Amino acid sequence: MLLAEVLRKTGSEIGDRVAYVAADGWPVTYRELDKLSDEVAVGLLRRGVREGDVVGLAMPSNPDYVVAYGALDKIGACAAGVNPFLMARERRDALATAEPAFVIATAELCDGVPDDTEVLEVSVASTSGEILRSLRVADEAPPSIAIDPDRKVAIVFTSGSTGLPKGALFRERTIRAIFDMDNSGSAGYSGASHSVSATQWAHIGGMTKIAWILSGGGTTHLMHKWKASMVLEYTERYKMPALNAGPSQVALMLRVPDLEQYDLSSVRAIIAGMGPSSPGLIVEARERFKCAYSVRYSSTESGGIGCATALDAPDDETFYTVGRPRAGVECKVIDEHGDELPVGEVGEMALRHAGIMDAYFNNPDETATTLVDGWLHTGDLGSKDESGCFRVSGRIKEMFIRGGYKIYPVEVERVLSEHPKVANIALIPRPDPVMTEVGVAVVVPRDPADPPTLEDLRAYAADKLARYKLPEHIRYAEEIPMNSSYKVDRRTLKEHEAAVASDPRG
């Protein structure tokens, strides 16, 4: 009911303000969001959707999605958002996990819906009046329902970088806890703030944050697909005070030709989550944007809440850590038995707070190994330093072993990314008949005509990393592939290296 409450409150108090500007340029006001979601809610009830039902949303990240999500919240149904950039097979896998009673889908995304699921096909709107027109019942509102803290609100799918997607379930109480932690005591409407959506609505940054973003009363600009130059144009035009982006997105903005021609003086901070930020990236971003840089650490399962570096943190903290737990968050490093490790020792990061997911939907086995005594076992390797900050070494499943020694790609990437000829880099394991696995540096050079050699990289890191951690092969790329969550697509890169290793031609 939280999203429903926010829609009603903003629709009543600041109804004429623009909530969203669609990718094609048309606006939707707060009053329209509230009214349209009412009308869609009534339409869904008449089509058989009931309180407690899971309903899939296979739609682009436009205002239509928010209206559908709001309508489901108003009738007590649970939204399972599917990233529109997934392939049909991937959409099918995700939706099969959620077992929805219905799926609201646009024509181009219907092919990923399981055959035994009823589809409510909708058209993509080109004006606010066209939003979900086929589902709406004009000028009617749904009956009120009681607030239930245990009601299912959202299922958010993991990116599936290491296997089939899992659906993180969030109930009313967890959604409200996330809202409260994001609010951090702020109140009232900012009124003049503009922002650009950096993620798809089906991402954790949408499903658990939409109500909080709307409660601020600002205007969010949407894009068909995230584009660095467009973000810079919007930032200049609307004097945006902050940029929310993943490290890969920050890197792409820094590579936009004639970056200095944009007036970005309004930007006070870059808030970077979705993956590790290298020291080189942070330095360049701070210098060229002339603003502070905050590193964020969280996950889908943690509701997008975890650790953060302060905007005024010292360099060592911002460069090499993910900061300290946010207010209301506990964090520790544990061994394989779940016991807390002392300062400096590497183990698994664990988080605990009121906004942690309730479970993996329909997956009790994975839930039991991930949620233990109220703690979320993140699957991330890290350590705690003497100052109370946490350092993330990478994913447990990304670690590989060369000749009996463990190698954590993020650690190596952080060092090699500071080489002056490297624009972006990923360290990927390649099967090896002697060492089991060896590291391959996949490099995006700053100047394609003058790329770093393997010897350059090894020499640069020789006094910074143990010899066994240094890459043994190099491959050049125009860009590092990203998955639908804007994280490095390590699965695709590993498949390529496996194919290279198995090629008898060498």
- Provide the residue type at 156 as one letter: V
Q: Which tokens is 8 given?
A: 């009603």
Whole-angstrom distance, CA of residue 428 vs CA of residue 495: 10
In this predicted structure, the answer to whether residue 185 has a pLDDT above a threshold of 50 is no
Q: What is the pLDDT of residues 141-155, one digit of tens each?
A: 999 999 999 999 999
Q: Is the pLDDT of residue 51 over 90?
A: yes
Return the pLDDT at 187.
38
Domain map of the chain by residue range?
Answer: 2-220, 222-356+370-395, 401-502
Q: Which residues pair with 138 in a beta bridge?
A: none
pLDDT of residue 318: 96
Mean per-residue pLDDT over the chain, rounded: 92
Distance CA 301, CA 201 (A): 16
DSSP string, 367-403: HHHHEETTEEEEEEEEEE-TTS-EEEEEEGGG-EEET
401-502 and 222-356+370-395 share a CATH fold: no
pLDDT computed for residue 504 by the predictor: 66
pLDDT at 45 over 60: yes
Q: Which CATH number fits domain 2-220: 3.40.50.2300, 3.30.1240.10, 2.170.130.30, 3.40.50.12780?
A: 3.40.50.12780
Distance CA 36, CA 412 (A): 50
Strands (E), 453-494: 473-476
List C-alpha distances in Å: 272 to 253, 275, 322, 366: 13, 8, 10, 29
Percentage of the chain surpassing pLDDT 70?
96
Quickly state the pLDDT bin for 442 (edges 50, 70, 90): very high
Instruction: Report the relative pairing of strands 219-221 and 194-196 from DSSP bridges.
Output: parallel
How many residues in total does the chain contain?
506
β-strand pairing of 194-196 with 167-171: unpaired
pLDDT in tens, 391-434: 998 888 888 989 888 898 988 998 999 999 999 999 999 998 88
Q: What percent of the chain has pLDDT over 90?
A: 79
| pLDDT score for 253 | 94
- The answer to whether residue 483 scores a pLDDT higher than 80 is no
Compute the distance between CA of residue 3 and CA of residue 176 in angstroms, rounded to an integer.
Answer: 10
- For 401-502, CATH gives 3.30.300.30
> Taking 80 as the threshold, does the pLDDT of residue 164 lie above it?
no
pLDDT in tens, 354-385: 999 999 999 999 999 999 999 999 999 999 99
Instruction: For residue range 427-441, list pLDDT tens digits in order.
Output: 999 998 888 899 999
* CATH class name, domain 222-356+370-395: alpha beta
Q: Which residues pair with 55 in a beta bridge?
A: 79, 102
